[in-house]
Amino acid sequence: MNFAMTRAFPTKEHHLFYDSGSLSTSATLVSFHTYPAVPASPLIGKSSKYTPAKVNTTHVEVLGLGFDDTLGGQRLDALIKGMLVAEFEAKLGRPMEDGDDETFKALGKIGKEAARVKAILSANADAAVGVRLSPALARHEPT
C-alpha cells in the first residue's frame, strides 16, 4: 500500500508483488488507478454553498493471489547445496559418504556456501563458488 500512497497512476497500471520467504513464495497481481473524486462529508448538505475541491484518489484492486508452499529459501538452499555436492563428487571421483567427521565438515561448508551463493544470485546473474576441502577428505582417509 505504501507503493500506491506515494504515486499517481493517471492510467491503469498492473503490478506483480512477490514475497519469497524461508518456507514459501507468494505473488499478488494488483492494479492501480488514480482519479479525481469529491470527498464525502456529513457536514456538507444540499443547501451548503461550499463546494469541496476534488482530491486525487488511488483505487487499488487485487486481481489475483497465488502461492507455492514448497518453494522457499530453505528449498532453494537445498537445491543449490545438492548442485554443489554433485560437482564436488564429480571432482572427487566418488560419492561423499556420510559418517566421518571430515564429510560432515565439508557438507557444512557447502551448506554455508549455498546460502551465500543464493544471496549473491538475488542481485546478480552468476556467482563464483569456492569451498576448500581437507586433504583427508580428498584422499578419503577417515580421521
Strand partners, 18: 27
Q: Which of 23, 50, 68 is the last residue of a domain?
A: 68
Q: Which of 68, 93, 113 is the last residue of a domain?
A: 68
pTM comes to 0.51
Do 6 and 63 lie in one domain? The reply is yes
Could you list the mean pLDDT of each consecutive 10-residue stretch along the chain, which spans 143 residues?
Answer: 82 89 88 84 62 80 91 83 85 73 81 84 79 64 47
CB atoms within 10 A of CB 103: 19
Q: Residue 23: which domain range?
A: 2-68
**Number of structural domains the chain divides into:** 2
Q: Which residue, 98, 97, 105, 95, is CA-closest to 133?
A: 105
What pLDDT is attached to residue 108? 84
Mind spelling out the 3-state secondary structure of 93-137?
Answer: CCCCCCCCHHHHHHHHHHHHHHHHHHHHHCCCCCCCCCCCCCHHH
